[in-house]
Structures are given as structure tokens and as C-alpha cells.
Amino acid sequence: MLSPIAVAVVQFNPSLDREANLETMSSYAALAAQRGARVVVFPEYSQAFTAQLGAWMGEVAEPDDGSFVSALTEIANDLGIVIVAGMLERTTDAEKPYNAVVAVGEGRMLAKSRKLHLYDAFGTTESDWLQAGDPLDAPATFEIDGMRFGLQTCYDLRFPEVSRRLVDAGAQVLVIPAEWVRGPLKEHHWQTLLRARAIENTVAVAAADHAPPVAVGHSCIIDARGVVTAKVGVEQGVAVGWIEPDEIVEVRRTNPALRLRKYAVTALETA
């Protein structure tokens, strides 16, 4: 029998000042750890962000062993936790970095996911400034205290096969950093899709967004039944929820949808 794990989602608005962002993240991580969190999830673009996409994205990009990840790893080590956060990862194309999510703890990087589906929707063209991840890369997961977590990013949420592929790789918790841009019905989409991914995959979900006015907020923890167990709302702040492995087992026993399904997930050759 595995013990419940406390997971925190942090909702904050990063700026282009990386050092200020790290200071804010350190403070929120310490608060989450004080409340018992073993895993602390920050939003997409936690390293650096401004509302208007542009050349700054390539300018602030770092390698995945650069100063931002090193600082996060040090914070995680000092607090004895795992930190998940979004960053811009440098590529061979200096003008088009990856939109990446890293999980760090235990003195090292535990997992890294590169955003697969760039946000070319609702009047935004993220692909003008970013390079998409390779859909053939192995699913990004890590294990802590016997529970497996799977990483995906923001717009990937609209593609259920991304979550299902992580679940096929053993994920019991989907971790979703986001900058879910506000707009008509966008708050409704965010909350509905998060619950849907939990229900259809019988997994817990931990989703961290920016706060308004650019994003919708409503960072939350959702259990495998699709019930929100902890939530931030529209302000900057932190929420901690407990994820119970035994509950996931019981949900899957009652609703064995994963075992009963007829289709598998594969990457498109043209992706």
C-alpha cells in the first residue's frame, strides 16, 4: 500500500526578469513544502514571459543544464521536493527554442517534455517563434514515492492522445504546466478538458496556469474521478492537494476503461 502524496500547483505571473521569477518560485516552493508538498508544479514559461510572443523567446532560451535549471535543482534539493516548471530550451536554431517542461529533484533532472502541439489557434501563431517537440520522443515521466507522473504542456491538453500515451507509459498523475490564454469560453475549455483527461484516463491531474489578466488561472488538483480537490482561483498563489494511489486503484477497478479500450495511440508519420 502506497501512502498519499501531496502535490502543489503554483499560479503566478512570470516576467522577463529570470532572477525575479526564481526568487518568486523559491518562495512559493518553500510555502508548498511547508504545507507538505512533495511535488510542486509551476506554470509554462516560468523561466521568462511577456504577453506578446516574439524574438525575446530565442534570446532568453537556455540549455537544459543552464543556470535556470541549475537554480531550480538547488531549490528542490534544499527543500527535499520535486519541482516541475516550464522554460524555453535552446536549440540549434537560435531563433526558435523548444517550449519545454522540466522536472528536477534528487540533484538531477528527472524528466523533460517538449511541447508537441504549438499554439497556432485563436489568433496566435506560436510556431512563428518556437520549434515543436518530436512526437517520437519517449513519453516524459518520473517516479516519486512509488507514484508515476507524466509531463505535458498547455495546448497539448486539447489532444487526448498525448495524455493517453503518458498513461500507457504508466503515469498515474498528469502534470500540466500552462499559460492558457484568456478569451471567449477559454476558462470553460480549460476546466472541462482537465476534468475530461482525468475521467477518461482514470488518473489524477495537477495543472498550473498563469493568473489573469493574460491567462485564465484556476490552477487545480483533480482526482481520478474528475473531482477538483484543490484550486487557486484567479489570484496568484499556491494550492496543495493529496493524491491517493489506493483511490486510483479503486477507480480503475470500478471503471476499467483502460483495459476495455479497443484502440492504441501511435504517432503520425507526417507529424
Catalytic site positions: 44, 115, 154
Q: Which residues contact 213 (CB under 8 A, 6 or more apart)?
A: 182
Q: Which residues contact 147 (CB under 8 A, 6 or more apart)?
A: 2, 5, 172, 173, 243, 245
Question: Which residues are within 8 A (CB) of 188 and not within 5 positions of it... i.e. 6 or more apart?
Answer: none
In the β-sheet with 108-114, what is the strand arrangement from edge to edge?
Answer: 108-114, 98-105, 82-89, 39-41, 5-11, 237-243
44: left (phi over 0), alpha (psi -120 to 50) or beta: beta
Backbone phi, psi, residue 92, to 5°: -70, -20
CA dist 104 and 76 (Å) reads: 7
* Gap between the Cα atoms of 183 and 50, Å rounded: 17
